[in-house]
Amino acid sequence: MNFDLTEEQQLIGQSARDFAKQYLEPIAVGLDQTGEYPKAVVQALAKHDFLGLLLPADVGGAAAGFVSYVEVIEDLSRYCGAVASIVNNHTVAAYTIQNWGTAEQKKQYLPAMAKGELLGGFAIFENGPMPGVGQDALIATKHDVGYVLNGKKAFVRNAGEAGVYVVFATTDPAAGAKALTAFIVQASAVGVKVGEKQETMGLKGCPVAEITFENVVLAETALLGSLNQGAEIAAKALAVASVAEAAQTVGIGQAAVEHAAAYAKQRVQFGKPVAVLQAIQTLLAEVATDCHLARLGLRNAALLIEDGKPFEVEAAMVKSFLVRLGPKMLIDTCQVEGGFGYSETMPLPRMFRDIAGTTLLDAPGDFPEKLIAANIA
């Protein structure tokens, strides 16, 4: 197995790093403090083709492949996890339309999504235990010319800024999630109401809100994939998204360990830099190793996605690995920086909040460990 990046992938990574340094580094602290949506930066992302990275050339995308995509997400996350989340949620919506949409749907939405004229959102979660279950479940009722949506979706990211949402609703309340069906819903549709922006622990700047659907009338052409195929679509799309989220976790962890290592070299205690102390070296070495191994795992999963091979088990392994070790990376790097690292004047508290967002949210439909255990030969 070759983990080396091609020349193009390396150059794309370099472009992402240069972009992040120029556009994200100056705003990261401000976003964390205000939670304001970074509209100008999103437009700049579109100009540099990051919003159409995965989409094919015939709809205006860059067709750069999934390995490049995780490189980009990691590099953006090193400077600002929230912006990487905006890109990731847009991309998973575009990915879903690209993979399950009709030719007309692709033609209608993807060119504008590739250009960044239309931001995407992915509305899967509900307040109940699973989509299609509970009193707020989003229900799609068949009518003469299509469907009518009623209910709510929770924790929708890019909410309020997206122009189009991939929305999952059950067509049979009795069957719940088994009758989950995907639809493409325009934000401008009558009856779509985006709630108040929710305050989140981290990844501030990537808007999160509940969306209420009140008698939203959809034409038959809004159906994405086939009737009751929603669970399958959501599982695949979320598994893909989880690999990109792993790249977010690695990017934030890498930024944290580099900051801690630089701090340790200049922080003098007992007459010498703390970087020479074995206890500090152990903490730094363990975090750097975790980042490196996770990066190899996610590149492996990304390559499988790019090659159209089964990837869900490998994606689950990366997710499981980082759910355990992501937050620990920040605990350990904060430990290296001691009281200063705990201070809000330093970047680690922001990274701590952000890395929690990348590991706590959007898990695959089931515990990743269940999938991994079931596939041990």
Partner 1 sequence: MPKCLVCYKWTLDEQDIKIKPEDLSLDVSRAKGKISDFDRNAIEEAILLVEKDGGAVDALTYGTTSVKQSLKDALSRGPGKVYWIADASAENADGNVTAKVLAAAIRKIGPYDLILCGEGSSDQFNQQTASRLAALLELPCVSFVSKLSVAGDTVSATRKLEESQEDVTVKGPVVISVLSDINKPRIPSLKQVLGASKKPNEEIKIADLNLKPEKLLPKAVCKSVKGFVMQRKNIIYKESAAADNVAKLKASLTTEGLC
3-state SS assignment for residue 268: strand
Compute the least distance from the CB of residue 322 to partner 1, in Å. Answer: 25
Whether 287 and 256 have beta carbons less than 8 Å apart is answered as yes
Q: Of 43, 77, 49, whose CA–CA distance to 64 is shortest?
A: 49
CB nearer to partner 1: pick between 47 and 107: 47
C-alpha angle 277/281/284, rounded to 5°?
Answer: 145
Compute the least distance from the CB of residue 197 to partner 1, in Å. Answer: 30
3-state helix, strand, coil in the chain (%, to 5): 55, 15, 30
CB nearer to partner 1: pick between 271 and 308: 271
CB nearer to partner 1: pick between 40 and 201: 40
Compute the least distance from the CB of residue 16 to partner 1, in Å. Answer: 9
The single-letter code of the amino acid at 74 is E
Specify which residues 153 forms β-bridges with.
211
CB nearer to partner 1: pick between 259 and 353: 259
What own/partner pairs with CB < 8 Å and gap ≥ 24 does 297-300 have? 297/246, 297/321, 298/70, 298/243, 298/246, 298/247, 298/250, 299/3, 299/67, 299/70, 300/1, 300/3
CB nearer to partner 1: pick between 178 and 265: 265
Q: Report residue 8 as tokens.
A: 């193009």
Alpha-carbon span 282 to 265, nearest angstrom: 14
Compute the least distance from the CB of residue 10 to partner 1, in Å. Answer: 8
CB nearer to partner 1: pick between 50 and 100: 50
Alpha-carbon span 288 to 24, nearest angstrom: 23
Alpha-carbon span 276 to 281, nearest angstrom: 7
> Applying CB under 8 A, which residues contact partner 1?
7-8, 11-12, 14-15, 18-19, 22, 47-50, 53, 62-64, 68
> Sign of torsion, CA 119 203 347 246?
negative
Compute the least distance from the CB of residue 172 to partner 1, in Å. Answer: 42
Compute the least distance from the CB of residue 58 to partner 1, in Å. Answer: 13
CB nearer to partner 1: pick between 36 and 117: 117
Compute the least distance from the CB of residue 330 to partner 1, in Å. Answer: 24
